[in-house]
Amino acid sequence: MATKIFVNLPVRDLNASVAFFTRLGYQFNPQFTDEKATCMVVSDDIYVMLLVESFFQTFTPKAVTDARQANEAIICLSVDSRTEVDRLVDAALGGGARSLPDDEHGAEFMYARNFEDLDGHLWNILYMDPSFVQQPEAAAPAEARA
């Protein structure tokens, strides 16, 4: 079975966040959606759980970071083309996202743009030319190498 990833993000206004990400083209799984949370489907193996801040707080004893004031993480999603990078970021900006400086850390085979969503979470949308990407050789577990 493939490993799946569920990124959990606190949001102030669940309905506004759903409208924002719907504008970007994402869909939501109604089976995991109620007034406290929703499950945004990024791909068959990637999901973003948008959790109302008070509900998010029930999962951790630590304070919830206000992503508008401090960085918590940068969520990077790869897409299939430069055009798709532009489409997603332009849709985000049109939906109220804040523009961030574009990624200048990449090489000639990478194209990325960045935005801050309605709750301050940082997103990096990346296209990487597949002809430049080499598949890594599988490494043996540390125990097997010892």
Per-residue confidence in pLDDT tens, the chain, 146 aa: 578 899 999 999 999 999 999 999 999 999 999 999 999 999 999 999 999 999 999 998 888 888 889 988 889 999 999 999 999 999 999 999 999 887 665 567 889 999 999 999 999 999 988 887 666 565 555 555 45
pLDDT of the residue at 4: 87
Tell which phi-psi region holds residue 123, choosing left (phi > 0), alpha (psi between -120 and 50) or beta.
beta
CATH dotted code for 5-132 = 3.10.180.10
pLDDT of the residue at 27: 97
Domain layout of the chain by residue ranges? 5-132
**Which strands make up the sheet holding 74-78, listed edge to edge?**
74-78, 122-128, 110-116, 98-99
**Three-state SS for 28?**
strand
C-beta atoms surrounding 14 within 10 Å:
19
Are residues 76 and 42 in contact, defined by beta-carbon separation less than 8 angstroms? no
Give the predicted TM-score (pTM) of the model: 0.79
